[in-house]
């Protein structure tokens, strides 16, 4: 039984079908990635999964229960948490306030305080800047904050939408290090990425999307070696 | 703290030395402070620009007038009507909030502006076929407050001191004001306050934090509106007469100006803004005329004209030199500091 199971998911914007019947599954504790070009429908899938975009057809079940039409604020309480594309941090609030906001849906204040400490260990940069307003952080630091804030809500399944977007290569490596570490602590992750190499190296399984449909699926290692993937997403000439 | 309390309680005795008119002016200033604090919840805390806020003031005032006047022959006591007025205003707040949930900034401002006008026009026209609001003539003979037979409209002598009607209202308003300030302070640091902050900053991210943004925005509209409704009920009782003319767009704009001038989101700033914009015009009214007569021997500029001139000039100055308001909130202060950096 997978933690997340998606069958025949369709997402429409007016007359345009952005996602055309997608099946995918993420097992408990897995790190699965979804790669594909711009406009392939990756973000639309994530939005539909977390209740921010209504699905036009198909079923989504999370922890054994159907969640079609369940509003996102309720899903957060059940541990299904999205880190939106472009981070979506609260720029005017301080780093500490942002992290505290992540625990909004929780009411175990003792454990929240402990988790705040844990975040300081996980993200020393953020600890140094806890009193600074989040808008003044660099892009990479903001992404770290977005990850930390999501962790504060005690996720069971984390949906990451392009965490490497617009970051310098060194920062991208750091972000992936954190993503791996979160996964190793037992959080299930569905990672959407354009940086196919980094994503495939981090994930155990992967799906490849092209204009609204899944075209390839399998072990991340196999896909990394697949000539079709190498040509289309890793920028290598076909042999 | 205790000293401020004593001064505030004793204030009407000092003011009535200068004339009962000044106690009335102070009462109106407190009413506007209540309005500004209510609007601050919507605009300052939740970041939803409302240009039709006076509609809730009107709803509260009419609720009071209809339930305590000869118009329908109803004479309910004030402690029954004020909560009713607050509840009806809150309902109107939800009525305005529900269809505008997806709107932000300018678009929301336009719809709320329309809402304020709709309410006023309804009040003007709900006289036929069934006479509910008595149209533009308004409602007269509204009952004053009365506690165990002591009417707020009459002057009494208590331990040798003259206690006029406006003075009684002043003390009542003071109690309401303190309560409203306390509620505002509590709200700001509560879970709800933090949720409003998140919605104001980034709605999508707020939802991703597990905040029910629909509920939290409606709550802001309802709470803001209910404070407006209470202020409206008090206004109706103090004036004894209301008509749609008291609830025009300019009043809404005035309240927004109080909030912006004082410092959006900062409770003390909003109070300062409301008191300044209430008192300065009155002080001008009493000083400009004698001053001109003394200097030029005749009136050159009407106080009313001068009032608008100074008001506009003051707003321009504040926006130039203190764009976050006279007493900015911590968040706005940071926001501006960053923009400069």
The 10s digit of each residue's pLDDT in B290-322 is: 888 888 877 777 777 787 888 888 888 988 988
Instruction: Inspect the interface and report whether the beta carbons of A88 and B205 lie closer than 8 Å.
Output: yes
Instruction: Determine the residue of chain A that is closest to B212 in CA distance.
Output: A73
In the numeric block, the tokens 């007569």 are attached to: B293
At A122 the pLDDT is 87
- Decide if A50 contacts A80 (C-beta within 8 A): yes
- How many CB contacts within 8 angstroms connect chain A with chain B? 70
Share of chain A above pLDDT 70, in %: 98
At B93 the pLDDT is 96
At B107 the pLDDT is 92
Structure tokens at A26: 């993420």
Instruction: Inspect the interface and report whether the beta carbons of A73 and B207 lie closer than 8 Å.
Output: yes
Asked if residue A110 has pLDDT above 90, the reply is no
At B124 the pLDDT is 93
At A237 the pLDDT is 64
Instruction: Inspect the interface and report whether the beta carbons of A73 and B334 lie closer than 8 Å.
Output: no
Minimal Cβ distance to B210: which of A77, A100, A135? A77
Minimal Cβ distance to B209: which of A52, A74, A76? A76
Q: What is the pLDDT of residues A162-188, one digit of tens each?
A: 999 889 999 999 999 999 999 999 999
Across residues A47-51, what is the average pLDDT?
92
Instruction: Inspect the interface and report whether the beta carbons of A105 and B210 lie closer than 8 Å.
Output: yes
B156 vs A139: which has the higher pLDDT: A139
Q: Does B333 touch chain A (CB under 8 A)?
A: no
Instruction: Inspect the interface and report whether the beta carbons of B201 and A82 lie closer than 8 Å.
Output: no
Instruction: Inspect the interface and report whether the beta carbons of A84 and B213 lie closer than 8 Å.
Output: no
Instruction: Inspect the interface and report whether the beta carbons of B201 and A105 lie closer than 8 Å.
Output: no
Global pTM?
0.87
| ipTM surpassing 0.90 | no
A176 vs chain B: nearest CA distance in angstroms?
21
Q: Does A71 touch chain B (CB under 8 A)?
A: yes
At A191 the pLDDT is 95
State the Cα–Cα distance between residues A103 and A34, nearest whole angstrom.
27
Q: Does A59 touch chain B (CB under 8 A)?
A: no
Instruction: Determine the residue of chain A that is closest to B329 in CA distance.
Output: A92
Asked if residue A29 has pLDDT above 90, the reply is yes
Asked if residue A1 has pLDDT above 90, the reply is no
State the Cα–Cα distance between residues A127 and A18, nearest whole angstrom.
40
**pLDDT-flagged residues of chain B (< 50):** none
Across residues A80-100, what is the average pLDDT?
89
DSSP collapsed to 3 states, chain B? CHHHHHHHHHHHHHHHHCCHHHHHHHHHHHHHHHHHHHHHHHHHHCCCCCCCCHHHHHHHHHHHHHHEECCCCEECCHHHHHHHHHHHHHHHHHHHHHHHCCCCHHHHHHHHHHHHHHHHHHHHHCCCCCCCCCHHHCECCCCCCEECCEECCCCEEECCEEECHHHHHHHHHHHHHHHHHHHHHHHHCCHHHHHHHHHHHCHHHHHHCCCCHHHHHHHHHHHHHHHHHHHHHHHHHHHCCECHHHHCHHHHHHHHHHHHHHCCCCHHHHHHHHHHHHHHHHHHHHHHHHHHHHHHCCCCCCHHHHHHHHHHHHHHHHHHHCCCCCCCCHHHHHHHHHHHC
Across residues A213-224, what is the average pLDDT?
92
């Amino acid at each position: 039984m997978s933690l997340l199971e998606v069958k025949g998911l369709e997402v429409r914007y007016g007359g345009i079908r952005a996602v055309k019947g997608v099946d995918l599954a993420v097992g408990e504790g897995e790190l699965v990635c979804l790669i594909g070009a711009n406009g392939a429908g990756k973000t639309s899938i994530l939005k539909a999964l977390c209740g921010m975009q209504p699905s036009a057809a198909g079923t989504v079940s999370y922890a054994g229960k159907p969640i079609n039409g369940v509003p996102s604020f309720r899903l957060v309480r059940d541990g299904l948490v999205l880190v939106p594309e472009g981070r979506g941090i609260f720029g005017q609030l301080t780093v500490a306030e942002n992290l505290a906001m992540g625990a909004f849906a929780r009411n175990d204040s003792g454990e929240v305080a402990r988790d705040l400490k844990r975040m300081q260990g996980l993200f020393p940069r953020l600890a140094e800047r806890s009193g600074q307003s989040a808008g003044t952080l660099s892009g990479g630091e903001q992404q770290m904050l977005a990850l930390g804030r999501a962790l504060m809500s005690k996720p069971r399944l984390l949906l990451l939408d392009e965490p490497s977007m617009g970051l310098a290569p060194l920062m991208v490596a750091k972000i992936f290090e954190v993503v791996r570490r979160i996964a190793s602590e037992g959080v299930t992750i569905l990672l959407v990425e354009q940086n196919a190499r980094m994503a495939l190296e981090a994930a155990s399984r992967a799906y490849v999307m092209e204009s609204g449909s899944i075209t390839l699926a399998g072990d991340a290692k196999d896909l990394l070696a697949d000539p079709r993937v190498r040509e289309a997403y890793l920028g290598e000439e076909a042999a | 703290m205790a000293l401020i309390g004593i001064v505030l309680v004793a204030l009407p005795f000092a003011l009535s030395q200068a004339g009962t008119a000044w106690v009335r002016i102070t009462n109106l200033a407190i009413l506007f402070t209540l309005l500004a604090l209510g609007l601050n919840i919507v605009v300052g805390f939740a970041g939803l620009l409302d240009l039709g806020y006076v509609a809730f003031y009107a709803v509260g005032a009419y609720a009071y007038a209809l339930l305590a006047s000869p118009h329908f022959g109803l004479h309910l006591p004030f402690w029954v009507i004020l909560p009713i007025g607050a509840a009806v205003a809150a309902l109107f707040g939800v009525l305005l909030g529900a269809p505008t949930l997806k709107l932000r900034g300018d678009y929301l401002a336009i719809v709320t502006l329309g809402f304020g006008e709709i309410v006023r026009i309804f009040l003007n026209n709900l006289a036929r076929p069934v006479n509910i609001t008595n149209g533009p003539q308004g409602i007269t003979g509204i009952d004053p407050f009365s506690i165990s037979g002591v009417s707020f409209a009459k002057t009494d002598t208590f331990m040798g001191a003259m206690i006029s009607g406006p003075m009684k209202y002043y003390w009542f308003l003071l109690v309401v004001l303190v309560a409203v300030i306390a509620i505002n302070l509590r709200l700001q640091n509560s879970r709800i306050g933090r949720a409003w902050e998140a919605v104001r900053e980034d709605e999508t991210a707020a939802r991703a934090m597990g905040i029910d943004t629909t509920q939290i925005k409606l709550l802001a509209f309802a709470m803001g509106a209910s404070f407006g409704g209470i202020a409206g009920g008090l206004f109706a009782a103090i004036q004894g007469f209301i008509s749609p003319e008291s609830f025009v767009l300019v009043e809404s704009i005035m309240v927004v100006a109080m909030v912006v001038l004082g410092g959006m989101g900062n409770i003390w700033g909003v109070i300062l803004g409301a008191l300044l914009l209430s008192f300065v015009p009155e002080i001008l009214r009493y000083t400009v005329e004698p001053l001109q007569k003394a200097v030029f021997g005749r009136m050159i500029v009407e106080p009313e004209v001068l009032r608008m001139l100074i008001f506009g000039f003051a707003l321009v100055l504040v926006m130039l030199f203190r764009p976050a308001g006279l007493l900015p909130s911590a968040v706005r202060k940071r926001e501006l500091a960053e923009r400069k950096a």
